Amino acid sequence: MSQVLSSLPREWRLSMPAEWAPHSTTWMSWPFDEEMWFGHLQEVRQEYSNLVRTLARFEPVQLIVRDEEAAASARELLSDVRNVTMHRIPLNDVWMRDNGPLFLLKSKDSPTDAPLVSFVNWNFNAWGEKYDWQLDNEVPKTLAEIFQWPRFDAPYVMEGGSLEINGEGLCITTEQCLLTPTRNPRLNKADLEKILHDYLGFDQVIWLKQGLEGDHTDGHIDTITRFANSTTVLTSVTPDRSDVNWERMQENLEILGRARLKDGRNLRVVELPLPDTKLFLADGTRLPATYANFYMANGAVLVPQYADRKDAAALDVLRRAFPQHQVIGLNSRYIINGGGSFHCLTQQQPKV
């Protein structure tokens, strides 16, 4: 049995590191189910395999496969990739950013007996019980048993995609997501800030308002606003005033412009374009296509592309923001049908 720690992570001086901290590996889950991908499972798997293949050039990938069909598909499409390890674990969905463990690291002030590898196991309810979630909610506990990682069980609903952090105690999130009553209906902002402090080590929270139209996660921050370093934030914008996202993104831009770091300095705010093309499902649901859903690996930034005329401009912005990384654009035109992209599909395990 893995150890469930009864104390809070803050008592051990543990905290969640920034995404640019070195990784030991990245966790992902292989796509399955034609219905989930609106009849485009094979195209999704092709894009997904290109993502895994590229990521594996920079760090190991741990790939969860739901069943033998998924495992066989992954083996076939990744037959030439050596840096991937598969794990058979039951799944409802593939968005490891949200149902996966949020890992913690020791600080220089941590007691000597603090665990080297540990994580917070939040409740996951598929973004307010929109879909089946019971199997996905068990994944962190299953991983803890396999690898004998100690864990902190948090009795709250929280998703990794709702939190953007700078590694120095600052978190950005949205009111639309964290205050949605289908998650933690009895909690207010002050309650949530204390929970984030106690479990992840954040001592400052910037609250943006809304996310993108059509985002079934209720406005996850990782589709709109991301840190490039501890003092620089990239935030999505559009020049199209007829787009409902224009007003939403402008309001967030203004909030970030007024925000201060703990030492009183302004955040450096860099505008990142949204794709020009508005993408929709057959039922008219708008897809939250965005370049902000990039994933930062060891030495690389992997950026979703949509065959849109803003693809190249977004890559230029990100190359300036990440001069020490290879910024690589990869197709995500079919993956976005599921409502997310590369950051939603990945969960980093920090190097200890």
Cα→Cα distances 30→86, 201, 276, Å: 9, 31, 29
Q: Output the DSSP codes for 139-205.
A: HHHHHHHHHT--EEEEEEE--GGG-EE-SSSEEEEEHHHHT-TTT-TT--HHHHHHHHHHHH---EE
- The count of C-alpha atoms lying within 13 angstroms of the C-alpha of 348, restricted to the half-sphere facing its C-beta, is 25
How big is the CA angle at 97 (ends 220 and 114), to the nearest 5 degrees?
A: 115
% helix, strand, coil for the chain, step of 5: 30, 25, 45
As a whole number of angstroms, the distance between CA 234 and CA 49 comes to: 27
As a whole number of angstroms, the distance between CA 50 and CA 34 comes to: 19
How many residues appear in the chain? Answer: 352
177 is known as an active-site residue: no
As a whole number of angstroms, the distance between CA 314 and CA 119 comes to: 33
Q: Output b/e per residue, 21-36; b: 16+ Cβ within 10 A.
A: eebebbbbbbbbeeeb
- Quote the tokens at residue 290: 């965005």
Marked catalytic residue, from 104, 177, 256, 344 = 344
Closest CA to 53 of 78, 16, 90: 78
As a whole number of angstroms, the distance between CA 91 and CA 109 comes to: 38
Closest CA to 163 of 210, 200, 189: 200
CB 277 within 8 A of CB 306: yes
As a whole number of angstroms, the distance between CA 242 and CA 135 comes to: 41
Catalytic (active-site) positions: 344
